[in-house]
Amino acid sequence: MLRPKTKTGMQEAKVSMNANAQDWIRLIESAGRIKQLAPWQWMNEDDVFGITHPQTGEIGFISVMGALGEHLAVSVYLGASAWARFLALQQAPQGVLDEHPELLLEIPQLQASFEDRDELEDWDRLLLRGLNLKFRGRKAWPRFQSFRPGFMPWRLEPEEIGFLTLALQQLEQVAPRLKEDRSFLSGEAPGTLLIRSCRVGKRNTGEWKDRYERVPPPEFPPVQLAWDPGDVKKLKRMPPREDILEVDFFQFPGAIGQKGERPQAGYILLSLHAQSNLVFGAQTTCATESIEHMWGQIPGLLLSRLVEPGLRPREIHVQSQLLQNVLQPAFKELGTKIVLKPVLKKLRAAKRELLVHFQKKPVPDQRGR
């Protein structure tokens, strides 16, 4: 019996593009007007306002990048939790984003950017070619991406095209008003922010209106910590030692998954024996269920690695609040202190060497592990 041929990723993308051609055209036209407006000439990344999705009620927080002329883009951070993570990054100590660029990729968002032609992916070129569109010059080619925690940036899903278009249209309205009045985005009441909304229906005209509201408190999914209690028992039988481990958790280059699917991001739990300056472990993983589930597996990964040589360290030094939070409960019974340090220079050097290694070799497949 003949089996139907499976569409390749690019074939599926082409079908999707054709089915949503008018939506894509509206998005690209809106992006073109934003490029001409160039709001990054007077807007900073923290000049943010919100829009409410007319159908779902979800709030998208719009931020403009490009004040330094390096990366011209508009991001729509999806929901109050994404907004809170964006604010946390804005307030993070200098160098945090340089050391962990994945922190930005892990914020749910939609993005329109303007790139050089050689920075586009095959899908981007297929989209523009399929719509008979050409652009010239540096930072002139529009690119549209969807960011989800635990995944690499990917093309927009059909339902995301319309929301990003709305965001660009609203930016087109708001940016000139902000240029005239720098206080326009903040309300008179402390802690309020401009959130534009539009009601549709029989008695509503569909007109967008200004409202100054407090952003609803974020609701972060819980992180369920998991480890093998048997590993803790085995380590408790080992005599405490003066060893210190330095531990970091970060995204490595490359992507995991089948071609044509939204690719998962791979992560490494790197541990360094501080006294000997030798790498103790480099365990790879990915967000098979959710990024919160992956974070919850970190203590189990480290405990299983410690059981092999029977190492019960006196202290574990980390550079992130996340690692301190997920490791403390698991190591409390062992009497191991989890110490937060601003910079771990030896660990960072080991990380750089490891990243170079991964860039030279294929990415390990961690699906289903």
142: helix, coil or strand? strand
Comma-separated ranges of CATH 3.30.420.10 domains in the chain: 229-360
Q: What tens digit of pLDDT does each residue of 36-62 get?
A: 999 999 999 999 999 999 989 999 999
d(Cα 146, Cα 75) in Å, to the nearest integer?
Answer: 10
Q: Which residue has the tokens 């290694």?
A: 357
pLDDT of residue 369: 39
Strand 192-201 with 212-214, pairing? antiparallel
Would you tell me the crossing angle of helices 122-130 and 21-37 to the nearest 10 degrees? Answer: 100
Classified by CATH at the fold level, domain 229-360 comes out as Nucleotidyltransferase; domain 5 (3.30.420)
pLDDT of residue 1: 34
Q: What tens digit of pLDDT does each residue of 192-250 get?
A: 999 999 876 655 557 899 999 999 889 899 999 999 999 999 999 999 889 999 999 99
d(Cα 17, Cα 11) in Å, to the nearest integer?
Answer: 10
H runs (alpha helix) in the chain: 9-19, 21-37, 80-90, 96-99, 102-105, 122-130, 158-180, 229-236, 291-296, 298-307, 321-331, 345-360
Average pLDDT, the chain: 90
pLDDT of residue 110: 98
Residue type, 309: P
> Model-level pTM greater than 0.85?
yes
Residue type, 280: F
Strand 49-52 with 59-65, pairing? antiparallel
- For 86-94, what is the mean pLDDT? 88
190: helix, coil or strand? coil
* Upper half-sphere CA count for residue 353 (Cβ side, 13 Å): 11
272: helix, coil or strand? strand
d(Cα 290, Cα 154) in Å, to the nearest integer?
Answer: 17
Q: What tens digit of pLDDT does each residue of 309-341 get?
A: 999 999 999 999 999 999 999 999 999 999 999
- For 161-179, what is the mean pLDDT? 97
Return phi, psi of residue 25, to 5°: -60, -45
